[in-house]
Amino acid sequence: MPGTELFGEEEKKEVMDVLETGVLFRYNHDVQRKGVWKAKEFEAEIAKFTGAKHALAVSSGSCAVSAMLAACGVGYGDEVIVPPFTFVATIEAVLLAGALPVFAEIDETLCLSAAGIKAVCGPKTKAVLLVHMCGAAADIDGILAVCKEKNVMLIEDTAQALGATYKGKHLGLFGKMGSFSFDFFKITTCGEGGVIISNDEALIQSAEYISDHGHSHEGDNRGMEPHHMMGTNFRIGEINAAIGLAQTRKLPKILKAQRKHKAVISERLGRIRGVTFRKQCDDGGDSATFFHLLMPDETKARTCVKLLGEAGIGVAYWYDNMYHYIKQWDHVKDLKMPYRMVAHELGLPQDLKTLAFPKSNAVMCRLISFGIRVTWTEQELNTMLDKMEVAVKKSMEKVLA
């Protein structure tokens, strides 16, 4: 949560601009707002930062995924390939669209693999919803080749990877559309918010209609503009956008600090025999929001997590996490909702209760991750690494009773 570490005067100033006018709504009120357009500015800032031609801010990363799927025409009964390791919001968006998730295997990139996608891609597959997990790129070249061969769309849930690039191009620009989240736990925050980027103007236009009941936002006469389609309310508010704007301007500084810390961590932990790191498809493009260790086996990983906990170092062991890995998603496997969805009606293409993920499990059970802080001093980082080194080495030798 680097953005929250640097939260300060800049955010307050942007928010005050909005409070001075009292126009909390992102559209219209051209006179009262006295030139204050925070949502528009936030979009322009994200477009500039990512190199996207168009950006649309919405109220959350989850809404961003829903709006992308809708704009891309993904709906009733369409099969969408998704990863079993993601924040569960990705899967929820597919189901809420009336589409059907099809799970494929991940590999040591922590993202869907090209081979995994190919193995489940069939005649009903409409799209691959690729998640660039934990701040770094999936195997884009390999995955784009499969998408082309199978004639399916690529859509990127880039919620966790703002600031990350692949071969110099920002993630989210390789498929039809890409989305970011600015919830409180992401690299930068709006409090709550999301942004969609795309180089396709028509798709972004569709997403904008969907995000605001079909309003076309022509002129300053809300309610009298033509409507081209229906939608819902995924709008971001001016206050959230103001915070996002200030946070986005801090991204270069955040990325620089994270990457510097990552280099120190890699150097130190790379010396320990038996430990490997997440496979990077473009190491320099990693936003370095997280650091990932791959232990030799599950027992050693669990031992290491325990020893790190005892040493006061908090890490994520995603394999057991309730919200990020399919192993704990009984509510998804049961399609538990208070109403009947398309997925209940049509049935899922895979039997999730018996579906096995041998390749994904083999990675996930060995994976230990921790967030890279921006505000670490050199000494704090080295003290933590000293403790880590002891714990990791010890877990290599000893297996806890």
Ligand X SMILES: *Cc1c(COP(=O)(O)O)cnc(C)c1O
Catalytic residue annotation: 186
Residues 193, 58: contact at Cβ < 8 Å? yes
Least separation, in Å, of the C-beta of 5 and ligand X? 18
**181 or 303: whose CB is closer to ligand X?**
181
**38 or 324: whose CB is closer to ligand X?**
324
Least separation, in Å, of the C-beta of 21 and ligand X? 26
Binding ligand X by CB under 6 A: which of 87, 291, 319, 357? 87
Mask: binding to ligand X, 48-67, rule CB under 6 A, as x and -?
------------xxx--x--
Least separation, in Å, of the C-beta of 359 and ligand X? 20
**103 or 300: whose CB is closer to ligand X?**
103
**71 or 391: whose CB is closer to ligand X?**
71
Judged by CB under 6 A, the chain residues 160 through 179 that form the site for ligand X are 160
- Residue 89 touches ligand X, criterion: CB under 6 A: yes
**261 or 324: whose CB is closer to ligand X?**
324
Binding ligand X by CB under 6 A: which of 90, 109, 125, 206? 90
User: Total residues at the site for ligand X (CB under 6 A)?
Assistant: 15
Span of 83-91, 144-152, 291-299, 393-401 interacting with ligand X by CB under 6 A: 83-91
Binding ligand X by CB under 6 A: which of 18, 131, 147, 195? 131
- Residue 206 touches ligand X, criterion: CB under 6 A: no
Binding ligand X by CB under 6 A: which of 50, 66, 86, 206? 86
**62 or 188: whose CB is closer to ligand X?**
62
- Residue 157 touches ligand X, criterion: CB under 6 A: yes
- Using CB atoms, what's the residue nearest to ligand X? 61
Contacting residues toward ligand X, per CB under 6 A: 60-62, 65, 86-87, 89-90, 131, 157, 159-160, 181, 183, 194
